[in-house]
Amino acid sequence: MTVDPFRTASEALSESGGNLTELARPFVRFLPVTGASVSTFGSLLSAETISATDARAQRVDELQFDLGEGPCWDALATRAPVLEPDFATSASWPAFTPAIRQEDVAAIFAFPLMFGPLEIGAVDLYSSTPGTLTARQQKQALVLSAVVSRILLRHAISEATTPETTTFSRRLIHQATGMVLAQVGSTADDAYLLIQARAFADDRPMREVAEDIINRRIRFGDLSETDEVTP
């Protein structure tokens, strides 16, 4: 029986506990890449590299943040993977492309980190030799990215919020959780996280968001961030 590197990586990720600095490592275990980085940015969280497997991976993030352009920005903006198989022949980013050519980076594959409608950040994978990822590898990277998104979101929420304790507001939140799971077709855990994240993003108590859901003022759409693969 062969060992499935993707499964190994997924398991490593779910076992990472609260150690955010290890989030990038699982990606290099099963993909033909030299290094990986995980960063948060966008409308919800501050721009920050959370995890990088090496100094060059860190540099890939840093350049994109400094220049305000690059594959990770495009990946999050388009909510889809952005693949640059060879910078020698590319002119996609007027400032970033010449800058990254100085860095012994031949290819970059960026995957968006999102949860439902929320922007979390991106994963940047780089390779020192030209090449691309197969559709299957992209799909796997997206699945792993979805796990990373949840971990980062939970962490951000737990840092920022104090739990609400009244038994009545908990009841409303459970009812809202049921409505959201029916709306998006998710598990109860993900539905709860969506409500929690919405409250976090809007800077409102969860109880208020739950009441809006119950009174049908807020609806959630499909939670299908892992379904789309752009070849």
Least Cβ distance, residue 185 to another protein (angstroms): 8
State the number of CA atoms in the 13 A half-sphere of 139 facing the CB. Answer: 4
**In the complex, minimum distance from the CB of residue 196 to another protein, in angstroms, rounded to a whole number:** 15
In the complex with another protein, the residue whose CB is nearer, 34 or 186, is 186
| Secondary structure letter of residue 36 according to DSSP | E
| Sequence-distant (≥ 6) Cβ neighbours of residue 80 within 8 angstroms | 112, 228, 230
Min dist. Cβ of residue 118 to another protein (A): 21
Stretch that binds another protein, among 49-57, 109-117, 118-126, 172-180 (CB under 8 A): 172-180
Here's the x/- map for another protein, 115-154, by CB under 8 A: it reads as ----------------------------------------
C-beta closer to another protein: residue 104 or 222: 222
- Residue bearing tokens 């940047």: 124
Between 6 and 220, CB nearer to another protein: 220
Question: 185 to 224, contacts with another protein by CB under 8 A?
Answer: 188, 214
In whole angstroms, what is the distance from residue 77 CA to residue 65 CA? 14
Q: Rounded to whole angstroms, what are the CA distances from 193 to 51, 52, 65, 100, 168?
A: 23, 26, 28, 37, 19
Q: Which amino acid, residue 218?
A: I
- Please choose, out of 50-58, 124-132, 166-174, 223-231, the segment that lies near another protein by the rule CB under 8 A: 166-174
Q: Which residues neighbour 140 within 8 Å (Cβ) at sequence distance 6 or greater?
A: 6, 30, 31
Residue 172, interface with another protein (CB under 8 A)?
Answer: yes
Is residue 174 within the footprint of another protein (CB under 8 A)?
Answer: yes
Nearest to 165 by CA among 213, 208, 207: 207
Please give the size of the binding site for another protein, defined by CB under 8 A: 18
Supply the DSSP string of 160-193, one letter for each residue. Answer: H-PPP--HHHHHHHHHHHHHHHHHHT--HHHHHH
Q: Does 166 bind another protein (CB under 8 A)?
A: yes
Name the DSSP class of 92.
S
Q: Which stretch binds another protein (CB under 8 A): 13-21, 47-55, 79-87, 163-171?
A: 163-171
> Are residues 38 and 17 in contact, defined by beta-carbon separation less than 8 angstroms?
no
Nearer to another protein, 96 or 192 (CB): 192
Q: For residues 56 and 170, which CB has a smaller minimum distance to another protein in the complex?
A: 170
Q: In 102-220, where does DSSP find H-type helix?
A: 135-160, 167-184, 188-202, 206-214
Point out which span in 26-34, 47-55, 173-181, 197-205 binds another protein (CB under 8 A): 173-181
Residues that bind another protein (CB under 8 A): 166-168, 170-172, 174-183, 188, 214
